[in-house]
Structure formats: structure tokens, C-alpha cells
Structure 1
Amino acid sequence: MDTMTLWHLTHWEFAALAFAALLVGFSKTAVSGANTVSLAIFAAVLPARASTGILLPVLIAGDLLAVATYRRHAHWPTLWRLFPAVGAGVVVGTVFLVWADDAAVRTSIGAILLLMAGVTVWRRRRTETAARPTEEPATEPATEAPADPATSRSARLKARSYGVLGGFTTMVANAGGPVMSLYLLSAGFRKLGFLGTSAFFFLIVNVSKLPFSAGLGLIDGNSLLLDAALVVFVVPGAFLGKWAVNRINQRLFEQLVIGATVVGGFQLLLR
């Protein structure tokens, strides 16, 4: 088994994981993608392979809270379009985890974090002159940009590409958030539609990953005991996110998240 128990941790290590769990709750109800910081913390405190299995139930707890908050705003046609490609990406990621040792997983997580930080910066530059989804009024309906018939084939190719990459990154490193955020933003989602669709997406995808992670030895009774201690911290994070979603300075927070993600990625690559 590659898992760790609660008793292996120092007080400072547990405090770092608790803070990461709080960030998971915050990201699920306010700033999607902020849990890349949580990913970096988990992979820094725990063995890289073990961190992916221990973080997964914590993410699912955050997903449940996000679904409870934004369940009326999901756009199901988008979800059904993404799921087949995501499933293929999860299978590829599982095969990679069977082959990869802890060093390879740690390097992959670091590289993925840096890639996602770059994607986020690129996305922000492209949308600087457009209305940001997180700046829309809270009363905006959950809508998707109308599909242009002339580009429907291109739209299907984009959904498949993002879906496979999202499935692979979420299986290997629980880092599919920035990939899916980029896809949903490019599809023209407003804030509530974005949050509701991503909430259901990650709940379904993360639950489907449980048997794969258990089969790889990344989840067992010991790891679930640690998860039970950490899930407690997800709840206040989710309430904080719900309170802050219409108050937070989004631009500054994203800059902090990107900076922390880059630092975490380099830390993993240089370990």
C-alpha cells in the first residue's frame, strides 16, 4: 500500500494539510482552480502517489458542498459532451500511474502545475477586454454560448481535446480544474453556470475515480481515517467561499494562486 496514516504526520504537516483542505472548500464554491495550491501542499507533505489518493475524498467532500450550493445552475448538455473524452483520459492516467514510480508522479504533478499556471495566465490575457464570468451579477442564468453551426466540428474537437487532457490530469494529479475552467470560460459560461456545471462535473468524475485509486492501492482504511480528519476543514472553506464569491478581488487572488502554484510546481520538480 502507498497510503499514509494520520499517525505519520507531525503537527505542522497536519496543519498544512488542514489548510489545504480549507482551500479545497473555498475553491469549490468561489474560485475554481485554487485547489492547485492544495495539490502542491499535499504532494509536498505526503509521498506524491499517496497524495493523489488521500486528496481525492477531500475533493469529493468539496464537490458535494458545491453541488448543494449551485445545483440549479448546471448545464447538462455540456457535461454529456465532455464525459466520454474525460473517461478516456482517466483510463490513460490510470495506466500511467500503474507504470510510474513516486519520483515520476512527483515530477509529473510539478510539470502539470506549471502547465496549468501557464494556461491560466494565457486565459487571463485573452479575456482582459471581455466581461469575466466571475464578475457577472449573481442573478445571471446558467447559459452556454450558442454553438455556431459553421464551427460545430471544431467545437466537438475542442470538447474532446479538453476532455482527454482534463481526465488525464485529474487522474494523475487531481489537477483537472484549470483545464475545465478554461474550457467552460471559452464556451461563454457566466458565473453561476460556470460554478454549477463544474460542481457536477467534478463530483461525477471524482467519484468515478474512486475504484481506480483503490485498485492502485492509493485508498485504504488508513488513508480514509486521515481523510475523515481533514474533511472537517473543507466545510468552513466552502462557507467562506460562498460568502466571498461576490466580494473577493478576483484579479489579486488569481495572481496569488498562480504564484503559489508556480512555487509549488518548482518545489516538486526540484525535490
Structure 2
Amino acid sequence: MDIGIWGFTALAAAAALVGFSKTAVNGANTVSLAVFAAVLPARESTGVLLPLLLVGDVIAVITYRRHAHWPTLLRMFPAVVVGVVAGTVFVAWADDALIRRSIGAILILMVAVTLWRRRAAAGGDAGGADTGRGRPPSPEPERRAGRYAVRSYGVLGGFTTMVANAGGPVMSLYLLSAGFRKLGFLGTSAWFFLAVNAFKVPFMVGLGLIGAESLRLDAMLVVLVVAGAFVGRATAARIDQKLFDRLVIAATTAGGLQLLLL
């Protein structure tokens, strides 16, 4: 891949952001996938990014493994599988421009829906930081999403993660809408994406998106993912819950607009 020094610098910064997003602000890696899609061909960029995401997933699981809410994960997985299969068919058929713009449009729509739902919620009580005062942090959501919401977010998450590794914002918006607090949010999403991204690998290999060339580039970038993850781990404890929610939504919006307007 002839990407030049500036292209590699951009990929290096995006790789560090992958690690940071996995341990601090899930959803921020939409900026990373937009950078990868801008520097590399959109289809090939997904194959380069996936192994880096898996490295970040492993670090996130090690960091937040005790805070996952397994009932949520088990409810979502069947719908995610449907979305991954649909995404595989789409990637085999669509060109780069359609892939980028489709994912960007989906992300912006999901942000709009989430903001509307949060505004309509009585009292807007999804926040509240996990400060540890008065009671231990819990992975339990403050309210349980309905079956239709679980299936919808699951299919969308599986589809977007297969098409452009963009399932993070969809999952983030679902967890926010379900009322997850910060640690439960990070723990549940960590296990979710480790499982989903590992499940995607055979599909990516079968589509020819992961190979020797992409893995060589990954080998040069992986140390930056690890560094970013440790910065995120040190930062997450200092982020207020309301700020955390806003950062997730802002990162999702920025990434969606970049994909839509590239």
C-alpha cells in the first residue's frame, strides 16, 4: 500500500484513537474509521482496521471485564449475526463511495434518534456518574430496552460493523438509550465487540480484505493502539458521566459526517 509519510502519520494517529476509544470514549473510533477510509480504499480499510480493533478489544476486556451486563449481550447477539450476514452481502456488492455514504447516513440517523429519545425521556435521568459514593458501580442499566429496540440496534450494529467497522456508535447509542452507567457501558461494549469482531474475521478473509499486506501495515500500527488504550484507561476514571455521554454522541456525529461527506 503506497500511502506516503503523511498518510501513514494520519493512520498512526487514528490507530492511537482506536485504543483510546476502547478504554475511554467508545464511539470515538468512528473518526478513526473515517481516517482509514480516507487514506486507504474504503473496502480495504475495513480489513486493515479490524485486527487493530481486536487488539483494543482485548485490552478493554482485560480492563473492564467485571462490569459487563451479560443479559444485554445475550439478547443482542442473534440480531447481530443477522446484521453481519447482511453486511457481508452488501460489501460484496457495493462500491467504496456507497459504503462510506451509507454508513455515514446511518450514524447521523442514529444520533438524531438517540437525541430525540433522550429529550423525550422523563427527567432525562440516563446520566449520573459512577463515582462510587454510596454504592458500588453496577453494570446494570437503569432501564431495559424493549425487544424491538434490541433487535433493531442489533441488526444495525452487525451490519455497520461488517460494512465499515462502524458498529461502535450504534452499540454506544443503544447502551446510552438503555441507561447504562459509565463502567457498565464500557464493560458491556468491550465484551460485545471482542466477540463480534472475532466473529467477523472469517468473513473478512473470505472477502479478501485481510491478507499479508494488510497485516504488515497492522504490525506497524499496533503499538499505537496499545499506547492509546493505556491513555484511555488513565483518562476514563476522570470523565464525568454527562461529559462521557456528550463525548460519545459528539464523536459519533463527527465520524458520521466525515463518512457522509468524504
TM over 0.5: yes
Matches within 5 A, 1:145-184: 145=142, 155-184=146-175
Q: Identify if the C-alpha distance between structure 1 residues 207 and 146 changes in structure 2 by more than 3 Å, giving closer, same or farther.
A: same
CA distance in structure 2 between the partners assigned to 1:170 and 1:56 by the alignment: 10
Q: CA deviation at 1:262?
A: 5.0
CA distance in structure 1 between the partners assigned to 2:103 and 2:94 by the alignment: 12
Q: CA deviation at 1:231?
A: 1.1
What SS is found at the alignment partner of 2:139? Answer: coil
What percentage of aligned pairs have identical amino acids? 62
CA distance in structure 2 between the partners assigned to 1:228 and 1:166 by the alignment: 27
Q: Which of the numbers 131, 140, 144 marks the counterpart of 2:137?
A: 140
Q: CA deviation at 1:74?
A: 1.0
What SS is found at the alignment partner of 1:136? Answer: coil
Q: CA deviation at 1:267?
A: 3.1
Q: CA deviation at 1:188?
A: 2.5
Task: Decide whether the 8 Å contact of 1:22 with 1:238 is kept in 2.
Answer: yes
CA distance in structure 1 between the partners assigned to 2:219 and 2:114 by the alignment: 32
Which residue matches 2:25?
31
CA distance in structure 1 between the partners assigned to 2:29 and 2:41 by the alignment: 18
Aligned residue pair count:
255
Which residue matches 2:58?
64
Which residue matches 1:130?
125
CA distance in structure 2 between the partners assigned to 1:219 and 1:193 by the alignment: 32
Over the residues paired in the alignment, what is the CA RMSD in angstroms? 2.3
Render the CA deviation track for 1:244-266: whole Å, top value 9, x for unaligned: 11324626745753563255134
Q: CA deviation at 1:161?
A: 1.2
What SS is found at the alignment partner of 1:61? Answer: helix
Q: CA deviation at 1:76?
A: 1.3
Which residue matches 1:257?
251
What SS is found at the alignment partner of 2:146? Answer: helix
Render the CA deviation track for 1:107-164: whole Å, top value 9, x for unaligned: 323333433444565466457842526x2215412213465xxxxxx82222111111
CA distance in structure 2 between the partners assigned to 1:63 and 1:163 by the alignment: 18
Which residue matches 1:226?
217
Task: Decide whether the 8 Å contact of 1:113 with 1:265 is kept in 2.
Answer: no
Unaligned runs of at least 5 residues, structure 1: 148-153
- Which segment drifts farther, 210-219 or 172-181? 172-181
Task: Decide whether the 8 Å contact of 1:50 with 1:218 is kept in 2.
Answer: yes
Compute the TM-score of the two structures, normalised by the length of structure 2. 0.88
Q: Which of the numbers 101, 104, 108 marks the counterpart of 1:107?
A: 101
Q: Identify if the C-alpha distance between structure 1 residues 253 and 221 changes in structure 2 by more than 3 Å, giving closer, same or farther.
A: same
Equivalent AA in structure 2 for residue 81 of structure 1: R
Q: CA deviation at 1:235?
A: 1.0
CA distance in structure 2 between the partners assigned to 1:94 and 1:263 by the alignment: 23
Q: Identify if the C-alpha distance between structure 1 residues 221 and 68 changes in structure 2 by more than 3 Å, giving closer, same or farther.
A: same
Which residue matches 1:204?
195
Q: Identify if the C-alpha distance between structure 1 residues 184 and 260 changes in structure 2 by more than 3 Å, giving closer, same or farther.
A: closer
CA distance in structure 2 between the partners assigned to 1:229 and 1:170 by the alignment: 23
Q: CA deviation at 1:19?
A: 0.6
CA distance in structure 2 between the partners assigned to 1:209 and 1:70 by the alignment: 22
Which residue matches 1:15?
9
Q: Which of the numbers 236, 239, 245 marks the counterpart of 1:245?
A: 236
What SS is found at the alignment partner of 1:233? Answer: helix
Compute the TM-score of the two structures, normalised by the length of structure 1. 0.85
CA distance in structure 2 between the partners assigned to 1:222 and 1:144 by the alignment: 42
CA distance in structure 2 between the partners assigned to 1:254 and 1:184 by the alignment: 11
